[in-house]
Amino acid sequence: MGANLIGGGATFRVWAPAAHEVHVLGDFNQWTPSDASRLVRDEGGRWAGFVPGAADGMTYKFHVVGEGSEGFKRDPYARELTPEWPTPACIIRSATSYPWQDWHWRPPAFHDLVCYQFHVGTFYGPGRERRVATFLDVLDRIEYLADLGVNAIEPLPIVEYSTPRSMGYNGSDLFSPEMDYEVPAGHVDAYLPTVNRLLMARGKSAITRDQLAVPINQLKVLVDICHAYGLAVILDVVYNHASGDVRGQDESIYFFDRRRPGNDNDSLYFTDQEHTGPVFAFWRSEVRQFLIDNARFFVDEYHVDGFRYDQVTVIDVQNRPDGWRFCQDLTGTLHYVDPAAVNVAEYWGPEPAVVRPREQGGAGFDAAWHDGLRRAIRGVLAQAAHGRDASVRWQPVVDALRAPGFGDAWRAAQCIESHDEVYRDRAPRIAHLAGGGDTRSWYARSRARVATALLLTAPGIPMLFMGQEFLEDKRWADAPEFHADSLIWWDGLALDKAMSDFHRFTRDLVWLRRRHPALRSEGVATVLMDDGHRVVAFERWVPGVGRNVMVVASLNESTLRDYGVPFPLEGEWVEVFNSDVYDNWVNPWVAGNGGRVWAGPGPHHGLPASARLTIPANSVVVFARDGGD
pLDDT digits (tens, 9 = 90+) for 247-256: 888 999 998 9
Residue that finishes a domain, picked among 369, 385, 420 = 369
- pLDDT in the model for residue 87: 92
Collapsing DSSP to helix, strand or coil, 563 comes out as: strand
At residue 39, what are phi and psi to the nearest 5 degrees?
-85, 160
- pLDDT in the model for residue 482: 86
- Evaluate if residue 68 carries a pLDDT over 90: no
What is the gyration radius of the CA atoms in the chain, in angstroms?
27
How many domains is the chain built from?
3
Name the β-bridge partners of 615.
560
- pLDDT in the model for residue 371: 93
Please give the single-letter amino acid code of residue 427. Answer: A
pLDDT band at 474 (very low <50, low <70, confident <90, very high): very high
- pLDDT in the model for residue 238: 96
Element (H, E) at 72: strand 70-73
Residue 412 placed within a domain: no
Residue that finishes a domain, picked among 316, 351, 369 = 369
Q: What is the CATH number of the domain that holds 605?
A: 2.60.40.1180
pLDDT digits (tens, 9 = 90+) for 196-232: 999 999 999 999 999 999 999 999 999 999 999 999 9
Give the Cα separation of 61 and 431 in Å (integer). 50
Residue 604 placed within a domain: yes
Within 8 A by CB and 6+ apart from 360, the residues are: none
- pLDDT in the model for residue 31: 96
pLDDT band at 125 (very low <50, low <70, confident <90, very high): very high
Please give the single-letter amino acid code of residue 490. Answer: W
pLDDT digits (tens, 9 = 90+) for 496-542: 999 999 999 999 999 999 999 999 999 999 999 999 999 999 999 99
For residue 98, how far is the Cα from the chain centroid? 24
CB 75 within 8 A of CB 60: yes
Averaged pLDDT for residues 86-91:
94
Q: What is the dihedral of CA 418, 142, 459, 403, to 10 degrees?
A: 30
Q: Can you state the angle between helices 372-384 and 442-457, rounded to 10 degrees? A: 160
pLDDT digits (tens, 9 = 90+) for 256-315: 988 866 654 568 999 888 888 899 999 999 999 999 999 999 999 999 999 999 999 999
For residue 291, how far is the Cα from the chain centroid? 19
- pLDDT in the model for residue 40: 97
- pLDDT in the model for residue 264: 47
Describe the strand order of the beta sheet including 412-415 as a list of residue ranges: 232-233, 152-155, 115-118, 461-465, 412-415, 367-369, 342-345, 306-309, 235-237
Collapsing DSSP to helix, strand or coil, 512 comes out as: helix
Residue 487 placed within a domain: no
Number of C-beta neighbours around residue 445 at 10 A: 24
Task: Please state, rounded to an integer, the average pLDDT across all residues of the chain.
Answer: 94
Per the structure, the complete domain to which residue 18 belongs is given by 2-73
Residue 463 placed within a domain: no
To the nearest whole percent, how much of the chain has pLDDT over 70? 98
Residue 34 placed within a domain: yes
For residue 390, how far is the Cα from the chain centroid? 36
Q: What is the CATH number of the domain that holds 330?
A: 3.20.20.80
Query: What pairing do the DSSP bridges indicate for beta strands 535-542 and 70-73?
Result: unpaired
Q: What is the CATH number of the domain that holds 22?
A: 2.60.40.10
pLDDT digits (tens, 9 = 90+) for 360-372: 989 999 999 999 9
Averaged pLDDT for residues 546-566:
97
CB 477 within 8 A of CB 471: no
Residue 548 placed within a domain: yes
- pLDDT in the model for residue 263: 54
- Evaluate if residue 627 carries a pLDDT over 90: no
Residue that finishes a domain, picked among 328, 350, 369 = 369
For residue 310, how far is the Cα from the chain centroid? 10
Give the Cα separation of 65 and 19 in Å (integer). 6
Q: Can you state the angle between helices 215-228 and 285-302, rounded to 10 degrees? A: 60
Residue 406 placed within a domain: no
pLDDT band at 319 (very low <50, low <70, confident <90, very high): low
Query: What pairing do the DSSP bridges indicate for beta strands 461-465 and 115-118?
Result: parallel
Residue 92 placed within a domain: no
- pLDDT in the model for residue 162: 86
- pLDDT in the model for residue 262: 61
Rounded to a whole number of angstroms, the distance between the first and last alpha carbons of the chain is 47
- pLDDT in the model for residue 41: 95
Instruction: Write the DSSP symbol of residue 139.
Output: G
Residue 303: C-alpha distances to residues 57, 221, 293 (Å): 22, 10, 14
